[in-house]
Amino acid sequence: MILFHAMKPRKIRWVLALSVAASLHADPLEKVFDSPPAAARPWVYWFWMGSTITSNGITGDLQALHDAGFGGSVMCSMADICTPWPAPIGNEPTPDSVTFNNQWWQLVRHAAQESHRLGLAFGIGNCAGYETCGGPWITPEYSMQEVVWSATKFSGPGKFSGALPRPEPDIHAQQSFPVYIGNTGKLAKPEVPARRTYFRDIAVLAVPAEGEIATNQIFDLSDKLSPEGKLAWDAPPGDWVVYRFGHTTMGSMLQPCQWQAIGLQADMISREAMAFNMDHVTGDIQKHAGDLIGKGLDFVWFDSYEAGTPTWTPKMREEFQARRGYDLVKFLPVLAKRTVGGKAETKKFNADFKRTVDDLYRDVYFSVVRQRLHAAGLKFCNEPYWGPWSIPEVITNLDDVVAEFWADDGKYKRAAVPAVVSAAREHGINLISAEAFTARPKDSQWDETPAKLKPVGDAAFCDGVNRFILHRYIHQPYGDKYKPGFSMGQWGTHFDHTQTWWDPFKATVKY
């Protein structure tokens, strides 16, 4: 504090002159720190839980965000409750509203119009739930694929003649979490009949039944397989196993969403499948809310990746040949846990195969999404981590880059922040958002407070994040009538306007 009353007039003028000079030459970063731009205001993950949605509740949610000084929201349309698998509650106020149907789009239009009125950024998830990309329109052919095989043993010399059985993979979906099965009332990984009925051959190989496989001991019998699946082969002496390799759908489904909205994950390393999926998504947006693009509806959201890693796509053989310079067919037994050409050669193939999958996510998934969204006038927002790709290679496709950190028992858990911040800085990206204060059930039981959370947020700021997207803010269909209000289930910090500390929390938002 400057005590002017204790100074002589001449000295006061001198101090004031120095102060003015200092302000004129202040660091631009200091100026922007003192008066942050609107883009720095925090956002929220705004989860709509199942069909528990009302237009009055939407207005109330957005008005509360505006009044508290927030900058925008990311709306994801979920199941009634997520634990993390989806389950229904019943007695919803808008039971006919299902993600992407006409009633749901009317509510989205209302949210976009209200966001525009209030000067809030607003975007929607690209699919039902938050994980990851697809919908009911994705057929098995356009879904995520995996290599499957059958193995038939034969001892030579002699003539093998007979049918090679088609592989019979586990009929349940290949995915991380179970779901609520509406017709059984149980939590389970859903049965996907297409995992048994949809099958496309890749190759037929005969190799020694045991031990390492020398490359000169591999017989490619693919051209000897009849359309009916029968094989005729003159086998040399020895014990052989005949592999019938093919691919089928992983059966991986969207998570966690209404059962009526659930669908297969799109094949994200197939240009054809991704173009089909994104044309469906952007086509639906343009049909129902095209007049609001840039006037309330600003971006499409792709959350963190939890869909698993595919082991095939229809053009995998051609892509591998073009990118790695050799044919992968003779190495297919490696996918069946066999060693081909020795340990070093097998290790090299595994690395080449992984690199090819990484390349395809970069060149197909991120590229096609960006192209299709930009063509529709929409921005591409994404959490580009924990997927089968290199973050620095994909991050430049994004209009908004988002990391993630957790509030773990009142402590800062960095999660994806260092990797994303490092990649963003490598490419000169300044605005780095983060899914902020995500928490486990034991850490969020309506007992968390702004004072407890502040050190966690400060640590994230110091790590390079400069915009928070608070996880989570739940749509309250009945306004403040019920407290503490609706929740997502067991996940996330309770940043809801039905919280007891919502009003004093406005000071934290300003900070």
First to last CA, the chain: 22
Place of tokens 């924990």: 386
88: CB partners within 8 A, 6+ apart: 50, 79, 80, 81, 180, 182, 258, 259
- Tally helices (H) and strands (E) across the chain: 14, 19
What b/e string do you get for 81-91 counting C-beta neighbours within 10 Å, with b at 16 or more? bbbbbbbbeee
Instruction: Dump pLDDT digits (tens) for 179-232.
Output: 767 667 777 888 999 999 999 999 999 999 999 999 999 999 999 999 999 999
Question: What pLDDT was estimated at residue 21?
Answer: 47
DSSP string computed for 427-452? TT---EEEEEEE--GGG-SS---HHH
* 275 token code pair: 């173009």
Q: Which CATH class is domain 44-138+253-309+351-510?
A: alpha beta
pTM for this prediction: 0.92
Say whether pLDDT at 438 is over 50.
yes
Tens-place pLDDT, residues 114-125 = 999 999 999 999
pLDDT computed for residue 373 by the predictor:
98
What is the domain partition of the chain in residue ranges?
A: 44-138+253-309+351-510, 143-251+313-349
Q: Distance between CA atoms of 249 and 194, rounded to whole angstroms?
A: 7
The partner residues of 504 in beta bridges, in order of sequence, read none
Phi-psi region of 491 (alpha: psi -120 to 50; beta: other; left: phi over 0): beta
Cβ atoms within 10 A of the Cβ of 168, count? 11
Region label for 18, one of left (φ > 0), alpha (ψ between -120 and 50) or beta (otherwise): alpha
What does the DSSP 8-state code read for residue 297? B
Number of other CB atoms surrounding residue 269 within 10 Å: 28
User: Which tens digits make up the pLDDT trace of 143-174?
Assistant: 999 999 999 999 999 999 999 999 999 999 99
251-298 pLDDT per residue, tens: 999 988 998 999 999 999 999 999 999 999 999 999 999 999 999 999
Lowest mean per-residue pLDDT among 2-11, 31-40, 142-151, 222-231: 2-11
Q: Could you tell me the sign of the dihedral formed by the alpha carbons of 268, 270, 272, 273, in that order?
A: negative
